[in-house]
Amino acid sequence: MIPTMKDGRGCQSKTLTFVVISWFALLVKFVIAGMTLGPLGTMPTMSAIDFGSAVTAVLAIWLGREWTEKRKPQPSPQHPPPGEKQP
């Protein structure tokens, strides 16, 4: 089971969890780039362009999700979701 976080709408979001983990991993990779870490050796360098490209790709996933969620019709009191009866 994949852990999830709640998004701004209060819904469980696997995508947001993926974005947060990916963002943290990219940040750690960027910070330790070029450092020598004992038995692990020297970490490969990561330029700002590489970092920016990777962050852009991760944010595109999140923004794509937000865009598709915004396009979904939101249930209203006058029009409940299919299968639900009106009060």
Q: 48 is in which domain, residue-wise?
A: 5-71
- Tally the domains of the chain: 1
* Residue 45: inside a domain: yes
Task: With a cut of 60, say whether residue 76 has pLDDT above it.
Answer: no
How would you write 4-66 as a 3-class SS string?
A: CEECCCCCEEHHHHHHHHHHHHHHHHHHHCCCECHHHCECCCCCHHHHHHHHHHHHHHHHHHH
Question: Smallest Cα–Cα separation from 60: which of 15, 2, 3, 8?
Answer: 15
- State pLDDT tens for residues 31-64: 988 888 888 888 888 888 999 999 999 889 888 8
Residue 86 maps to a domain: no
Question: Domain for residue 53, yes or no?
Answer: yes
Report yes or no on 77 lying in a domain.
Answer: no
Residue 85 lies in a domain: no
Q: How far is CA 79 from CA 10, 54, 83, 84, in A?
A: 21, 41, 11, 9
* Amino acid, res. 71: R
Output the pTM of the full model: 0.64
pLDDT value for 79: 57
